[in-house]
Amino acid sequence: MKRAKLVLAAVTSLILVFAFTASAAEFTMKFANPVSKEHSWGKAAEKFAELVTEATKGRVLVQAHHAGTLGQIRETLEMARVGTVDFVVAGTGHVTAYTPEIGITVLPYLWKDTATMFKALDGPFGAAMDKALGKQGLVLSGWWDNGFRHITNNRRPIMKPEDMKGLKIRCLPAKVHVAFFKELGAVPTPMGWTELYQALQSGVVDAQENPPSMVYTGKLHEVQKFYSLSAHVNEPGIVVVSKVSMDRLPADLQKAVQSAAQKAAVWQRELNDKDNDVVMKKLVAEGLKINEVPKETIAAFRKAAKKVYPEAIEGFGPDGKKLVDQMITFNK
């Protein structure tokens, strides 16, 4: 009985502390995370909230909302543009509707490794993307990791190029992604993340492609049989903040929030790398059949990817070819 009272007192204290923090904050900001709280994006959103509270001495409170509870990605991005949602994390493929040139980040087989990708994103290329986002009412707040994307499906392991023929695959809503899978002979279907599990379960699509942590935390392995390690795209996560929301904050708080965002990005990248390694073992243990894709098949996929580059470049704006050429050189 005494122990129960102590537990109750502790819980009550935590509730009071949270209530005090919320009431003491001058600004409350909403962070939209489309995936599970258990994914590194969810964990990093919570970490970011802690860092903001610390950096602003409680003047700004960030409330993280997980698993698409504030809406699908396209909806939350629209809300961010007008300031009804403050922060959104999304794969860059989802942002191409607003800044087409950010589609460069999801060119198939562009990035040779994650370190090279972040070196580019944290440098002049990332600054160019931030400038483009600003024209759409969004401000770059950080680049997060997700990992290389691989293909799951219910038909067969992908061992040769012909195994992609006729495969109904959910893909990113980026033109280059759709074009790439068409070139492979698949039937690409752009679809929101929150719709994916049910679409796989009902057979609307046969396949999808995501990094290990997305597959595991999204429970996609429950409705898929095979996971073929194609590593065709390394799509980073991007955290954007509403320009309307940032303009509401005094200059000192803007600086503190963006400083917290930079720290959260470093923290998230380290965590995501560890999480992907751990969940690969869990996926095997829980019955997903994982296979390496043969080198000759990867070579054929790379050849298909290069075929869609020229068409994709046309949609990246007047500096598209220059930026793509720079990134290709950067990855050599």
Provide the residue ranges of all domains of the chain, joining segments of one domain with +.
2-145+236-276, 148-235+278-330
pTM of the model: 0.90
pLDDT at 23: 56
* pLDDT at site 155: 97
Nearest to 150 by CA among 304, 270, 292, 328: 292
Domain 148-235+278-330: which CATH number of 3.40.50.1820, 3.40.190.170, 1.20.120.530, 2.70.98.10 = 3.40.190.170
Which pLDDT score, from 0 to 100, does residue 18 have?
46
CA distance linking residue 40 with residue 153, whole number of Å: 24
What pLDDT does residue 14 have?
44
The CATH number, out of the four listed (3.40.190.170, 2.60.40.10, 1.10.645.10, 3.40.50.970), of the domain defined by the range 2-145+236-276: 3.40.190.170
Give the chain's count of helices (H) and strands (E).
Answer: 12, 11
Q: What is the spatial distance between Cα 130 and Cα 138, in angstroms, rounded to a whole number?
A: 8
- Averages of pLDDT over runs of 10 residues in the chain (332 residues) are 48 45 82 97 98 98 98 97 98 95 97 97 96 97 98 98 98 93 98 94 97 97 98 98 98 98 98 94 97 98 97 92 95 94
